[in-house]
Structure 1
Amino acid sequence: MTRERRREHYQWNMDIFGVSKVRAETELIQAVVLLFERLGIKSSDVGIRVSSRKVLQAVLQMYAIPENLFTQVCVIVDKLGKITREEMEKELVSLGVSIKAVNGIIEVLSLKSLSKLEEVLGSEGEAVSELKKLFSLAESYGYADWICFDASVVCGLAYYTGIVFEAFDRQGKLRAICGGGRYDRLLSTFGSDDIPACGFGFGDAVIVELLKEKALLPDLSHKVDDIVFPLDEVLDGTASSIASSLRKKGRSVDLVEDKRLKWLLPPLPITKRYVLGLFISLKHITANVVDRKTGRVAVSASSVEKALKDGMDCGRACNVKAAAAVGEVLAVQLKVDGLHREPIYANPSKEIEKKGFKNESKVWAIFNALRFHGVNLQLDSGERDPPR
């Protein structure tokens, strides 16, 4: 895989159906030229070689080469410039083409002048007349400096029937940028009636390399001004209306169905990394310090641990004592892990509200134990300090 070839690529195709005259080809070529110009590429950077399959047909007729060999000959002569003349002669002779015909084919396909081609084939044939018409129209369109005649362009695909063209970089560093031509008899191969048609394929691989070399590759980063999403199906119409209104004002809008906004929005900065959470029941008390950066419990202490459980006396008063012991053990573990100097955030009001006011003394017992043992406990703004 080279820099100009990829396992996957994007391709722009343009086709015109129902037009048998050369006007269709000139329209296609202008579309290609306009794209180059809008990308900042000049005719001094890129050219478009033009020829016709009918040129090769006329040459084969001159040397009485059977029509059934036409496709095979096209495939071989399409290698002109890619293999040596000797290799090409050998392949053509192996098909049954005479040496005289081989020399004639190579001589004609080496022509770079339409007037020279006319001297060989005459001016009455379709090949010459269609090419002359195309170059005349190119003058009117204003892109004559972009195109040049090159009889060697035959395009190896068997379905082409007339004018063919391919864009190339004039420095000769890259493969063909794009290519196409007329294919009036393609549809019948798929069981349909033949319709006059022509078109081209324009892949992204080569043009991207050219734009890089010319420092013309645009910034195509995805930019979105607004994100609109309905929180319920009944709001689909409203969301669509809002998105449409914003787009009409020139804004870039993504209308999405997924309500999980993690993939849409950048992560919020974590201002309170370590948060204290309490779990108090009739029989157990647990205190966890959660690391919001990882979403995991960093340090934990609980009255169900054997060392704490065995040291607790029974009775009503042991609940507050157990809470203080849990706070003391948590403080020790925070010191062991080097986290006791990190701000540990807590919200007493919420903890008391969740656990019930009958557990207020247990909540403050844990907070007091942490403070007493040097933990950097930070109460949420507006909260009073725990009683001493």
Structure 2
Amino acid sequence: MGNTAVVVGGGIGGLAAAIGLRRIGWEVAVVERASMLGDAGAGISLAANGLRALDGLGVGAAVRAASRGQYSGGTRTPEGRWLTRMDGAALERAVGTPIVGIPRSTLHGLLRESLPAEALLIGSEAGPVEQIDPGTVRVTCGGTVLDADLLVAADGIGSKVRGDLFPAHPGPVHSGSSVLRAVTGQAVDLRTDFELTWGHGAEFGHIAFQDGRAEWHAVLGLPVGTRFADPLAELRRRFRTWHDPIPALLDATGPAAVLHHDINELRTPLPSYTVGRIVLLGDAAHAMTPNLGQGACQALEDAITLAAALATGPTVEAALARYDVERRPRTQAVARAARQAGRMGQQLSHPLAVALRNTAMRLTPSRAATRMILRHHAWVPPRLN
């Protein structure tokens, strides 16, 4: 079996894949078109499955040390009434770790630090990918030609590699919602670690960080491409009557910190995550809506599963076939569940439907809610030899 790989995409999934491949003895080059690797963005929650994958990659302890456990919080109405309460301690007893919150830039930095600087080709645009013979994949980056035994396409939801491999696939589609989010510029007095608030066609949530700052996000049902001249002013207007600490979170945010993105997804599942010696990973393979907080966790699962398959498979082709069999059913099921969660959460706008949803949530026993969470969180990664 060969032992050289090119990873296209330097996001969380791409860096994790590179770490995993290096741990099994492969030489890896990560090609990223951005001139600076992702030390920007908002925050992220990592569940037990993502943390276990990070443990297997050797960076779990560092990530936990930089994170804040999510023990308190839950889901509320705009008036502040609780629909569900989070029992982070019960979840920790069930799976061995709480969900944690961490700035995305911190997580990205920890992953990057686990790779040698010479493995990162920053500011390099990956050109067309060619399988020049059954055992070699070629990609041109600027004036540099890279030949490898494997190419990992971790180039995100708009993956060019995926488009070349599956030209008939419809690609990403708009979910019907957009998200505005930011990290506060200062510490905020929060009584909970994590909250979601569901109104009529709108959601506001926060993740508390270790240093007292917080990430907040607002999800709105908006036509694709909608943008506001003053996003922060628009959010203050829309959420002015919602409960504390929502106004305080907005007040602690500078206008330049607000990010606005349409929420897109791969609604049509791919028929395979591999073609020859090219493998798709993370959003390039299964971009999903963020309603379960599983996007990054599934990419981390992909990364360690790929490394384990290559460590034990008799050939690259056999290893990639195993990866596809293990990852495609799970990730596509999680994507369907995330889509359904969005339809029953933020996207509900009819007053009767919202009232029925809220009543059902208040009447659901906490143990039942924990079991639903465990369906996605209680995943155990393969061991890297």
TM-score by length of 1: 0.20
Larger relative contact order (Cα-Cα within 8 Å, sequence gap ≥ 6):
2
Please state which structure has a larger fraction of its residues in strand. Answer: 2
